[in-house]
Amino acid sequence: MDLSGLENVDPEECFRLLAQVDVGRVVFTIRGLPAVQPVRYALWEEAVWFLARADSDLFGAAQDGVVAFEIDHFDAGLRTGWWVTVLGRAAAVPGRDLPRRLPGLSWQLPLPADVRCVRIPVEVVSGRKVAR
C-alpha cells in the first residue's frame, strides 16, 4: 500500500478486470495536447480492440501511435474502487470482416464505410485499487 492508500493490482487481475468491462477511454495526443475519447471495446488475444471513424482525431492518433487505455470502477458510498491502465502502440487493422470475429462485442453491422478497427496490443498493464 502506498501513502494514498492504494494497492497495486497484479497483471493477471488487470486482464480479468479488462475482460469484464466493455467501455473504456483511449488517451492520445492531438497537436501536442492530451485528449481522451470513450470507446466500446473488446479484449481479445491480449489486445484492446475498438472502432473509430477514419477522419477522426482518435483514428489519426492510432496510426502507429503510443496511447494509453483506461478502465475503472469506483463506489463512493463504499469507498472502494480500482483502475486499470494499458499502454501500447495503436494501429489500424485491415479487414472489414474483423469486427464479426471479435467475441463479446456487438458491433453495428454492416459497418459504415468510414469506420476502421483499431488494435492496442497490451505492452504494459498496471492497476491500482483502493485499500480497505
pTM for the model stands at 0.86
Q: Work out whether strand 33-40 and strand 47-53 pair parallel, antiparallel, or are unpaired.
A: unpaired
Mean pLDDT of the region 48-65? 87
Query: Residue 60 is placed in which grid cell?
Result: 489519426
Calculate ∠ Cα 7-28-65, nearest 5°: 110
How sure is the predictor about 45, in pLDDT bands with cuts at 50, 70 and 90?
confident
Domains of the chain: 6-125 (2.30.110.10)
From the list 94, 97, 126, the residue with the least C-alpha distance to 110 is 97
110 phi and psi angles, rounded to 5 deg: -75, 155
Mean pLDDT to the nearest integer, 93-120: 70
pLDDT at 126: 97
Please say whether the dihedral angle defined by the alpha carbons of residues 50, 51, 56 and 59, taken in this order, is positive or negative: positive
